[in-house]
Amino acid sequence: MAGYGWHRDVANDKLDTEVAGVKRSSIVAGESTARKSIGVTKGTRTDINAQNAAPTVAQIKTGFVVHTSTSAGGTLTSPIGTLLEAGFPGMEVGDTIEYYYLNDGNQTVTLTGDTGTTALAVQLILTLQGAVIIHVKTATDTFDVFRV
C-alpha cells in the first residue's frame, strides 16, 4: 500500500486502511471495529501543574492533558511501555494511542520517553502550544512517541 486508501488482504481475511503511507487500521472478518488507532478523547481534561509532567495511563485516557510548565524548561515523559501495554489491551504492532496536549505554562517542554518508549528526534513543545501526542506500538511493551 502507498498513499491513501484500502487494501484487501485475502490471505488473512482482513481489510487495511492507509493514511499518508502509514497503515492506520485493520478490520478482520468477524470483527465489527477497527483497532489500529486508539483515539482516547472523552472530552475531559486533566491538569498537571509542575515543571515536569509524566501523565499516567488514566490521565492519557481522558484525552486532553494540560501541563502548566513552571520554573525552568521541563519535560513531558511518556509512561513506560509495560503500563501502556496494560492500559490499552489488545494492541498490535503498528497500533497507535493518540491524545491532545497543551503546554499552557511559561516554559518550553521537551517530549521524552521512558523505559520501553522512545521519543523520535527532539520534540519541543513551546509555551502556549498544543500538540497531538502519538504512541506507536513497535513490539511487546515497546512504543515510539512523537508529537504532531
| Residue range 61-86, pLDDT digits in tens | 988 999 999 888 899 999 999 999 99
Torsion angle of alpha carbons 129, 79, 98, 105, nearest 10°?
A: -10
Ranges of residues in the chain with a pLDDT under 50 are 1-2, 29-35
What confidence score (pLDDT) does residue 32 get?
34
Classify 106 in phi/psi space as left (phi over 0), alpha (psi -120 to 50) or beta: alpha
What spatial distance separates the first Cα and last Cα of the chain, rounded to whole Å?
Answer: 23
Neighbours of 99 (CB within 10 A): 23
Would you report the helix, strand and coil content of the chain in percent, each value rounded to 5?
A: 10, 45, 45
Q: What angle do CA 56, 112, 80 make, to 5 degrees?
A: 40
What confidence score (pLDDT) does residue 147 get?
92
Query: Under 8 Å CB-to-CB from 23, ≥6 apart: which residues?
Result: 1, 16, 17, 36, 94
What confidence score (pLDDT) does residue 70 get?
85
What confidence score (pLDDT) does residue 121 get?
79
C-alpha closest to that of 42 among 2, 95, 100, 81: 100
In this structure, what C-alpha cell is assigned to residue 125? Answer: 513543545
